[in-house]
Structure 1
Amino acid sequence: MKSRSEVTEMGNSTQTMSSSARHGSASAADRIIRLPEVLSRTGLKQSTVYRKIADGSFPKQIKLSRNCVGWRESQINDWISAPQ
């Protein structure tokens, strides 16, 4: 098993992605933050966040469980630095 890579299956093909490729500028200790903190940091409303995700101008959420999502803190910080 590779220590800094993740194997994902996409259809019939298998890809290996490095940690830095998956996370962009993510650090090894990247936190997952929940919606209230995302809203507080960005100043956006919930409907605006989801609309921006749909049109590709905001980082996509990560599914944590059946009814729980979060965002990588580094991706939110990058978006705050250069909003689209």
Structure 2
Amino acid sequence: MQPTSLAPLPADRHIMRRDEVEQKTGFKRSHIYNLMKAGQFPQCRRIGTRAVGWDSMEIEQWVHDRLSMRD
């Protein structure tokens, strides 16, 4: 069996908690969860028993895509 090599992750990639996602997008909790349910926003991931977070790269890409739609 061949060992798998993992691609290096960008240094600024991190788990974003909800307050940081709200600040980055300008949306509040209920709107974020409504967009997730509709498949229009990156899904959160369970990071603990009662904690979830979002991949910062997915959120950054989502924001970038929305801003580039305006151009």
What is the TM-score when the length of structure 1 is the normalising length?
0.67
Which residue of the partner structure matches residue 4 of structure 2? 2
**1:1-84 matches, cutoff 5 A:** 1-4=3-6, 28=9, 29=11, 30-83=13-66
Which has the higher relative contact order, 1 or 2, with Cα contacts under 8 A spaced 6 or more apart? 2
The sequence identity of aligned pairs, in percent, is 30
Q: Distance in 2 between matches of 1:80 and 1:56?
A: 15
Structure 1 regions of 5+ residues with no counterpart?
A: 5-18, 20-26
- The structure that is strand-richer by fraction is 1
Instruction: Give a deviation string over 1:21-59, Cα, whole Å, max 9, x none.
Output: xxxxxx604211100000001000100000000000000
- Cα RMSD (Å) of the superposition? 1.8
Count of matched residue pairs: 63
Which structure has more helix as a fraction of its residues? 2
